[in-house]
Amino acid sequence: MKFRLTKHELKEKLRPWVRALTNPHLLLSLGIAWFLTNGWAYCAIGLGAFLEIGWLLKAGSVWAAMLWVPGTPEKLVTFPIAIFILRRLFPDDTRTLAMIDRKWKSAKEKTKLRYRKFREKLRSKRKKELPAHKDED
């Protein structure tokens, strides 16, 4: 089944995301969170090389190399930290926080629904695989 969006529909779907992600408060929070999880490594590489501090250069290089490995869960840590920072620094930014809460609840409900469907499918497969039980008296 192919699902195609018209240009207008795509714009309508992307508009809330672009609006939220270009919010200065969220951008600042993401920048701080990114620096806490990644940016320090690049600064450590630069300072370690410039000041000839071997351990600092090595520590930054090891962490930066780990970030480039496929499947690194770094984004799974960066975004929650950014949301935490956003809530602490800008508690009055209700529009962005409300959008984040709506998206979180929506994702949570979708996950619950998919898990429920998966469990039902698994149960139906198990029932098919089990032989009929006969009482032996």
Q: Assess contact for 78 and 70: CB atoms under 8 A.
A: no
**DSSP label at 89?**
H
Q: Assess whether pLDDT exceeds 80 at residue 5.
A: no
Task: Report angle CA 122, 110, 8 to the nearest 5 degrees.
Answer: 130
pLDDT: which is higher, 123 or 129: 123
The residue segments making up the domain with residue 54 are 22-100
Work out how many domains the chain is built from and give that number.
1
Q: How confident is the model at residue 102 (pLDDT cuts 50, 70, 90)?
A: confident
Query: Is 127 contained in some domain?
Result: no
Query: Is 53 contained in some domain?
Result: yes
Average pLDDT, the chain: 86
Query: Is 121 contained in some domain?
Result: no
Q: Assess whether pLDDT exceeds 80 at residue 3.
A: no
Which pair of structure tokens corresponds to residue 124? 């139906």
Amino acid at the residue 70? P
